[in-house]
Amino acid sequence: MLKIYGIKNCSTMKKAFDLLNELGLTYEFHDYKKQAIDAETLKAWLDAKGAEIILNKKGTTWKKLTEAEQQDALASETNLIQTLSAHSSMIKRPVLQTEHGILVGFDEAAYRALK
């Protein structure tokens, strides 16, 4: 089964939900805001995709950090995991766990290929 991670009230998440429903794909939703995200999952994602893919530097949460806080977050994987755990809105959305790995961000063609 697919598992999609993100925040319910996000326009990109809505596109992902709508397409998964249109394709008739069954999925479980994990809401960061209500359920948080554990360090082990974040580490697995970072190992699989890297910080440049997982960390959303375009979002307001990242931009609100001071330069020093940003540098500290990027200083090590441990620091980044702690930052992403504390500020889950900094994780690119959605993250879709499939049987073949994870898809990060909404890519309509990649989602359609799951069918």
Each domain of the chain, given as residue ranges in start order, spans 2-112
CATH class in words for 2-112: alpha beta
In three-state secondary structure terms, 31 is strand
Give residue 33's identity as a one-letter amino acid code. Answer: K
Q: Is 11 a catalytic residue?
A: no
What is the average per-residue pLDDT within 54-60?
A: 95
pLDDT (0 to 100) of residue 5: 98
Can you give the pTM of this predicted structure? 0.93
Catalytic residue chosen out of the listed positions 2, 7, 10, 46: 10
Q: How far apart are CA 19 and CA 40, in angstroms?
A: 28
Pairing of strands 2-6, 27-31: parallel
Q: Write the CA distances from 10 to 22, 91, 107, integer angstroms.
A: 18, 12, 15
Closest CA to 80 of 106, 104, 99, 57: 57
> Facing residues of 16 across strands?
none
pLDDT (0 to 100) of residue 1: 86
pLDDT (0 to 100) of residue 15: 97
